[in-house]
Amino acid sequence: MISSALTGFVSRSRATLFCLLLILLYGCISYVTIPKESTPDVQIPMIYLSAVYPGISPEDCENLILEPLEKALRSINGIKTITSYAKEGVASIIMEFFVGFDSNKALQDVRMKIDDVRNELPKDMDQPTVQELNLSLQPVLGVILTGDVPERTLVHLAKNLSNKIKILPNVLDVKIRGDKEEQLEVTLPPKFMETYLLSINAISSMIATNNVPITAGSIATNSGEYSIKIPSLIKNFDELLEFPIKVSGDSVIKLKDVGDVKRTFKDSLSIARINGKPAVVLDVSKRIGRNIILTVAEIKEAVRRESADWPRDVQILYSMDESQDIKDTVSDLENNLFVAVILVLIVIVVTVGARSALIIALSIPSSFLAGVLMLYIAGYTLNMIVLFSLILTVGMIVDDAIVISEFADRKMVEGMSPSMAYLTAANRMLLPVFTSTLVKILVFLPLLFWPGIIGQFMKYMPITVIAILTNSLFFALFFQPVLGKMFGGKSSISDEEKQAMSAAENGHLENLTGISKAYCHLLMRILTKPKLFVLSTLGTLVAVYTFFFFFGTGKELFPKIEPANAQLIVQASGNLSLHQKDQIFKDLETRIAPFLNEIKIAYSAVGIEDTSIENCIGKINIEFQHWNKRRKASYIISDLAKATADIKGVNIQIVEERAGPPSGLQPISIDFSSRDLDANTSFVDQLLLHMKQIGGFKNINDSRALEALEWRVDINRGLAAKYGINLDALGKFIKLTSNGLKISSYRPSDASDELDIVLRFPKEIRHIKALENLRIVTDSGMIVPISQFAKIYPANKVGKIKRVDGERVITISTDVDSNTLVDTQVNKLKLWLDTHKNRSVNVKFKGEEDDKKESGTFLLNAFLVALLMMFMTMLVQFNSYYHTMVVMSAVFLSTVGVLLGLLISMQPFGIVMCGIGIIALSGVVLNNNILFIDTYQRLMLEGIPIEKAVVMAGVQRMRPILLTAITAILGLLPMVFGIVINVYELDISIGSPSSQWWRQLSASIAGGLAFATILTLFFTPALLLVGRRFDARRYIPTQSQE
């Protein structure tokens, strides 16, 4: 059937060629229009719940909010872990689901469970909010407005610019950071409240009830129907001043008589600066599925138009520009792809001639573009994983085309026409070519089922590789014979090569020349003692495995990449005001200033909290200059650490950007839980002491809060009731000394949002001492000092309570020094934990260790499944257990090649990259043995003696085996050495971040393939001779007939 199809394609060459042109055309269109992104769009399987209840303590928050919610949420299907936090005034829960969950259904289930337990939660608590953590909605660009202009000007310009950006079709949302929210502040001195006997309830009620919309309906008369309107909402500043707040006899006390009203900003909770200057930042996020490069270009154009009339002192900067990252990544990988193709073509031209090379070369763009077309139709994006996968397949794509072209050349040497030669080659090599491609596809197939976030991140590789290899097989079998018929001609192979090919085909080994002759002589010498060679090789392999196990440099999850960003996390204990925090950050900014030639943006966020880091008082987000315009980030970070080391009273962590998908955790994270809280605390303290003693750790975080102070107001309810004071009224009164009491709101004509109307005491009495001396006016008109029924005193503050799956936990998370492996430090910690076991304390590793365990287990299972599928495929083709085992031996040879390369270069074993490399390599190296065994079996069927058949098979397949291996290695060579040759700008760079990403994987495949190919040319023949008794029995009938 397939032979008939091949003949049909060749006989209808014009239609076949037209189909190929259509594939190339639509592939080009797809490549231009497919959405591009730097890293794959990964779904974070997490849902975040937040419940706000102002004033509630962490302990009460745990008992009254967290426990009922956790109990209800635990019954939802698909939940992996529930992590909860209880802080003052807020409860938060992070639900981690298993990857592949239905986010819409999960959100619906969570909301239903909240409704089920709503009656068990505090009645006056706000309704909990639920949202999915979606990286697709993260900002793709930060537009920064800074300069020596008033802060109000920056805010005004930012709001106008935000409105312009929001209307762009590709923009989803714009959030303003550094914006200050306005409010209408009513300052009311306590003496006036006492003089006029104004209770807090009376004032707030009077204003609130006189600032509500009133509908009065309409009146129908004989002359018509008329609506009645009662203007009741505050429209301007003056109306509020005239508001009556108390009536006493004939006199009316208005707000202007007792207080001061002014429009001002709310008390700042945070401060934003860029490179030491005040700034406002617009975080712009795009709609899902939209092209980032086009979206960012539209945003920058909108900014350019809007800023044309701005003051000259306003400076515009851009941060988090993902479009530039994507352009750099795509450019580097495109250049590597181009160089790889050129190197492969050079080898092909030199070895098979220009005509055949041209036909083989067409397999690369046709397979690539057809693959991109398939990805585009399937709705995928073009990202760094897809682009590297294209590079990875450069050498694989041409394998099938080389094999068929090489066989066609042999037939043309024998006198066949190009048309018949290529058709014969396609038919003759159909089974081995199909099998070798199928094996490579089967190798990548299990990777489609990689679990977890890392699996989502890396799944684009097997998808792309499978699509490309399928297209390359289709090209070699159906399009290549047509191209050979139309453009193939007299072979350009030299007479010496023709003589060698003829000698190899006819078994006249004495007539071999050149490299074929040298290989034949060496092979025949080895085959005089095949058992010795096999045993020696196996001994060497075992030695390498053993040496790597005992003396290897360890394991790592992802390779270390030159970071583009870093973060300075500032921690401090005590009750620091925002002003005090700001002074610390100004000192930090002064120390960072000398490095601004290497730092593009230093964005200070003072007062920003982080739930994962206790006692965090703010961060400085650093965006480095382009990697080739500065020193390595590790040197800059080291110098920053030295420059900021002597700031007293604070702990400064400098965390650099990490490679791989987002995890939200540090490389090492350990949870400790126990019913005995004291024992748990003591055990954690011992471990922290041990970590300091052995060293190698940095940025150690302890989820327990450092000591802080809070003021408590203990109320004697009996005495309070005696004076007619309830807790609600007292709470409102005390708020006058802090952030103020919201009593209503109004919308001024010059603002797009409502402004809160807030009642406060004057600034000079908003402090603890004044609170102790205040007197409250009751609703009945009594004036009662707070000290009569309440005691105000300082106490230790509970910062935060963390729970995991319903149990209180203490989490220790840490990074490791730059010259230390995570794996090494984890082993040291596990050794200490094993020797200091406490049965009452449960210990669980998370972070990178958890990811390594999950990914390592999966990749091992995927490798075993791939081996099983390859074994079955080989068994079906060769119908021989022994020959199948001989073919599979290449896998173990290649694995040793990878480990040997890591030992020589003293590199750690990358679980993800080296793991994928070994799996991918196993499919590539089998290609050589498949061709070898297929040729050997055919020679045996022709009645040739075993010893001669082995040598002839080696000589005949040496050329295509070397050629396919060399092309695969050359395709990866630029990535192996980290070289990027920019063919557009004629520039060469070494060590770019994109090349660092893939260097480990490229080196694994290239090194393993080189090692396995050399050994295969000798080890496989030796194995065949060692097992000659199997073949002797199998081929006796055919040989006897001869």
pLDDT grade for 474, boundaries at 50, 70 and 90: confident
- Based on its alpha-carbon atoms, the radius of gyration of the chain, rounded to whole angstroms, reads 37
pLDDT score of 72: 92
Per-residue model confidence as pLDDT tens digits over 172-212: 888 888 777 778 888 888 888 887 788 888 787 777 777 77
pLDDT score of 1033: 54
Q: d(Cα 907, Cα 976) in Å, to the nearest integer?
A: 13
Q: d(Cα 126, Cα 123) in Å, to the nearest integer?
A: 8
The CA–CA distances, whole Å, from 689 to 211, 288, 671, 683 equal 61, 47, 17, 10
pLDDT score of 2: 66
Per-residue model confidence as pLDDT tens digits over 765-792: 887 777 778 888 887 778 888 888 888 8
739: which 2 tokens?
């952030």
Record the pTM.
0.73
Q: Which helix (H) or strand (E) holds 94?
A: strand 90-97
First vs last C-alpha separation in the chain? 31
Pairing relation of β-strands 755-760 and 182-187? parallel
pLDDT score of 65: 92
pLDDT grade for 706, boundaries at 50, 70 and 90: low
Which of 205-214, 515-524, 1010-1019 bottoms out in mean pLDDT, i.e. has the lowest?
205-214
Q: Which of 60, 185, 33 is nearest to 125 (CA)?
A: 60
| Cβ-contact 493, 350 below 8 angstroms | no
Neighbours of 380 (CB within 10 A): 20
pLDDT score of 751: 67
Q: What is the mean pLDDT of residues 245-268?
A: 79
Q: Which of 444, 485, 484, 223 is nearest to 360 (CA)?
A: 484
pLDDT grade for 374, boundaries at 50, 70 and 90: very high
pLDDT score of 488: 65
Q: What is the mean pLDDT of residues 959-985?
A: 79
pLDDT grade for 1040, boundaries at 50, 70 and 90: very low
Q: What angle, 0 to 180 degrees and rounded to 10, lies between the N-to-C axes of helices 881-905 and 993-1026?
A: 140
Average pLDDT over all residues of the chain: 82
pLDDT score of 1041: 36
Q: d(Cα 351, Cα 200) in Å, to the nearest integer?
A: 94
Q: d(Cα 583, Cα 581) in Å, to the nearest integer?
A: 5
599: which 2 tokens?
């730092």
| Cβ-contact 91, 53 below 8 angstroms | yes
Please write down the HEC assignment for all residues of 875-915: HHHHCCHHHHHHHHHHHHHHHHHHHHHHHHHCCCEECCHHH
Cβ contacts of 623 within 8 Å, gap of 6 or more: 319, 320, 564, 565, 599, 600, 601, 602, 603
Dmax over CA atoms of the chain, in Å, equals 133
Secondary structure class of 791 (helix, strand, coil):
strand
Q: What is the mean pLDDT of residues 731-737?
A: 82
Place of tokens 């072979």: 491
**Taking the mean position of all CA atoms in its chain, how far away is CA 853?**
18
pLDDT score of 299: 92
For the cut 50, the answer to whether the pLDDT of residue 1038 exceeds it is: no
For the cut 50, the answer to whether the pLDDT of residue 946 exceeds it is: yes
Q: Greater confidence, 635 or 707?
A: 635
Secondary structure class of 990 (helix, strand, coil):
strand
Pairing relation of β-strands 979-982 and 599-606? unpaired
Place of tokens 């992802």: 558
Cβ contacts of 424 within 8 Å, gap of 6 or more: 407, 408, 411, 416
Which of 82-91, 387-396, 856-865 bottoms out in mean pLDDT, i.e. has the lowest?
387-396
Q: Which residues are registered as beta bridge partners of 1012?
A: none
Q: Which helix (H) or strand (E) holds 924?
A: helix 913-941
Q: d(Cα 507, Cα 517) in Å, to the nearest integer?
A: 13
Same fold, 45-133 and 562-658: yes
pLDDT score of 366: 87
Which of 567-576, 704-713, 1002-1011 bottoms out in mean pLDDT, i.e. has the lowest?
704-713
Q: Greater confidence, 233 or 1018?
A: 1018
For the cut 60, the answer to whether the pLDDT of residue 1021 exceeds it is: yes
| Cβ-contact 157, 730 below 8 angstroms | no
Per-residue model confidence as pLDDT tens digits over 610-666: 666 777 888 898 989 888 888 888 889 889 988 988 888 888 888 888 766 665 567
**Taking the mean position of all CA atoms in its chain, how far away is CA 149?**
38
Q: Which fold has domain 562-658?
A: Alpha-Beta Plaits (3.30.70)
pLDDT score of 300: 92
For the cut 90, the answer to whether the pLDDT of residue 854 exceeds it is: no
Q: For 493-558+880-1036, give the CATH class.
A: mainly alpha
Q: What percent of the chain has pLDDT over 70?
A: 93
Long-range CB contacts (< 8 A, 24+ apart) of 931-938?
Answer: 931/403, 931/432, 931/436, 931/957, 931/960, 931/961, 932/957, 932/961, 932/1016, 932/1020, 933/878, 933/883, 933/886, 933/887, 933/1020, 934/431, 934/432, 934/877, 934/878, 936/1024, 937/878, 937/883
**Sign, CA torsion 91/97/101/106:** negative
pLDDT score of 25: 93
Q: d(Cα 220, Cα 234) in Å, to the nearest integer?
A: 29
pLDDT grade for 494, boundaries at 50, 70 and 90: low
Q: Which fold has domain 190-209+236-258+708-797?
A: 3.30.2090
CATH superfamily of 1-30+324-486: Multidrug efflux transporter AcrB transmembrane domain (1.20.1640.10)
Per-residue model confidence as pLDDT tens digits over 4-53: 777 777 777 788 888 889 988 999 999 888 887 777 777 778 899 999 88
Burial (CB count <10 Å: 0-12, 13-18, 19+), residue 451: middle
| Cβ-contact 681, 673 below 8 angstroms | no
Which of 116-120, 194-198, 223-227, 855-859 bottoms out in mean pLDDT, i.e. has the lowest?
223-227
Secondary structure class of 816 (helix, strand, coil):
strand
pLDDT grade for 493, boundaries at 50, 70 and 90: low
Q: What is the mean pLDDT of residues 499-527?
A: 76
Give the side-chain half-sphere CA count within 13 A for 946.
Answer: 17
Q: Which of 661, 657, 663 is nearest to 623 (CA)?
A: 657
Cβ contacts of 414 within 8 Å, gap of 6 or more: 502, 505
For the cut 50, the answer to whether the pLDDT of residue 1042 exceeds it is: no
pLDDT grade for 814, boundaries at 50, 70 and 90: confident
Map out the domains of the chain as residue ranges.
1-30+324-486, 45-133, 190-209+236-258+708-797, 493-558+880-1036, 562-658
For the cut 90, the answer to whether the pLDDT of residue 66 exceeds it is: yes
For the cut 70, the answer to whether the pLDDT of residue 497 exceeds it is: no
For the cut 60, the answer to whether the pLDDT of residue 535 exceeds it is: yes
Secondary structure class of 835 (helix, strand, coil):
helix
Count of residues for the chain? 1042
For the cut 90, the answer to whether the pLDDT of residue 863 exceeds it is: no
CATH no. of 45-133? 3.30.70.1430
Per-residue model confidence as pLDDT tens digits over 122-181: 887 878 899 887 766 778 888 999 888 887 788 888 888 988 999 998 888 888 887 777
pLDDT score of 663: 59
pLDDT score of 431: 81
Return phi, psi of residue 856, to 5°.
-60, -45
pLDDT score of 73: 92
1008: which 2 tokens?
């393993």
Per-residue model confidence as pLDDT tens digits over 548-572: 888 777 777 778 888 888 989 888 8
Maximum mean pLDDT: which of 258-267, 576-585, 1021-1030: 576-585
